[in-house]
Structure 1
Amino acid sequence: MPQPRGFICTQRADGTVVVTHHGRTAATLRGGRAEKFLAEVASGDPQLVMARWTGAYRFGNERTAREHPRNRSGRTRKR
């Protein structure tokens, strides 16, 4: 799996945490969720944690699954 990149988290004065991915807001966390997120970022790889919390990651098997004969039955693919 390729390493996620491009995530930035910013903590505001009111305790809100904003996670951006390539300049676009991916998640806004408040209260207990923000505290839990910050603790997890401090203890692990920040890019991986932010990718997991925002859901902006891929497993790498999407193309393989799409090409499988079971998933292509009766459909024509656009090229």
Structure 2
Amino acid sequence: MMSIDKRGKLDEAFFSYSVSKSGTVFLEWYGKQVKILKGKEAKKFIQRMQQAADEKERQLIMAKATGNFKRGNER
């Protein structure tokens, strides 16, 4: 894990998520919704989050799920 997070950014816990009754996952970055996961993708994400060892690993999973969303339109 250390080789992935050399600058220690994942310690800040800036990603969060919530799951609706229908199983849809809403991923947020600093409280702003950036991605919605549905169906198989949402189930796979929830399973990975439940298997994560610690908060830093959860942050990495959420960062990978959101992908490269920052392209000048975040405010």
Aligned CA-pair RMSD:
1.7
Structure 1's unaligned 5+ residue stretches are 57-79
Find out whether 1:15 has 2:23 as its counterpart.
yes
Q: Structure 1 vs Structure 2: percent identity of aligned residues? A: 29
The answer for the alignment partner of 2:62 in structure 1 is 50
Per-residue CA shift, 1:16-48, capped at 9, x if unaligned? 000001011121000110000011111122111
Matches within 5 A, 1:29-44: 29-44=37-52
Alpha-carbon distance between aligned partners in 2 of 1:33 and 1:26, rounded to the nearest angstrom: 15
Alpha-carbon distance between aligned partners in 2 of 1:7 and 1:13, rounded to the nearest angstrom: 21
Structure 2's unaligned 5+ residue stretches are 1-5, 69-75
* Residue type at the aligned position of 1:47: Q
Q: TM-score, normalised by structure 1?
A: 0.64
The answer for the alignment partner of 1:27 in structure 2 is 35
